[in-house]
Chains A and B, each alone.
Chain A
């Protein structure tokens, strides 16, 4: 089945130690998103790629970076994680020219910062 895959599902990192979360998709969708979701809150959009074009939300901290080396893969890099960055990170995709704004989500990566 076509899907959005996130690895790892659980990630523990130390305060200040860089960490990378990965997302891959077999849907061939041109848009990929990264969301941060804290407990009992709605997902908060960090940034998205429209093909290779990177779009950063205005309030996304500089500590968060992203890479999209090809259509299928997208990475979230947290350069110096703080305790406040502990959250669920969700990757999503959409195909703008067919079902606009309908986003397909991966299972998420739960990040713990010690």
Chain B
């Protein structure tokens, strides 16, 4: 069965510092991979996605992620974090047996001034 693990429940970084959020997945074939961001009290916004091709994908808000098949990972990165990046980040993989997405448990990012 598919699964997604986000090992870090909480991460705190200083504004201007670099960021890497980890995502590991278990999937039998080449997955579709997504990163979503959720600000407090809001819905989920798609940051970026990987379907095929170049393993380094660029997203919105200056985020990027790299698909590493050998490590079953799809880590999210940003070179310089802004205070407005404080939010919950969800990694997702699909399709699962019901052709739906499987979400990871999320990582809450806090940004120190």
Residues of chain A whose beta carbon lies under 8 Å from any beta carbon of chain B: 4, 6, 33, 40-43, 45, 48, 55, 57, 88, 90, 92, 100-108, 110
The complex places the Cα of A102 from the Cα of B41 at a distance, in Å, of 21
Interchain CB contact under 8 A, A110 and B103: no
Interchain CB contact under 8 A, B104 and A42: yes
Interchain CB contact under 8 A, A41 and B105: yes
- A78 to chain B minimum Cβ distance, whole angstroms, is 19
The complex places the Cα of A33 from the Cα of B92 at a distance, in Å, of 15
The complex places the Cα of A103 from the Cα of B88 at a distance, in Å, of 17
- B60-92 with Cβ < 8 A to chain A: 88, 90
Say yes or no for B43: interface residue by CB 8 A criterion: yes
Chain B residues with CB under 8 A of A100: 32, 94-95
Chain B residues with CB under 8 A of A103: 44, 46, 101
Chain A residues with CB under 8 A of B100: 33, 45, 48, 101
Q: State how many residues of chain B have any CB contact under 8 Å with chain A.
A: 23
Closest residue to A50 on the B side, CB-wise?
Answer: B99
Chain B residues with CB under 8 A of A42: 90, 103-106
Interchain CB contact under 8 A, A108 and B41: yes
Interchain CB contact under 8 A, A101 and B95: yes
The complex places the Cα of A45 from the Cα of B34 at a distance, in Å, of 16
Interchain CB contact under 8 A, B106 and A102: no
Interchain CB contact under 8 A, A104 and B105: no
- B51 to chain A minimum Cβ distance, whole angstroms, is 8
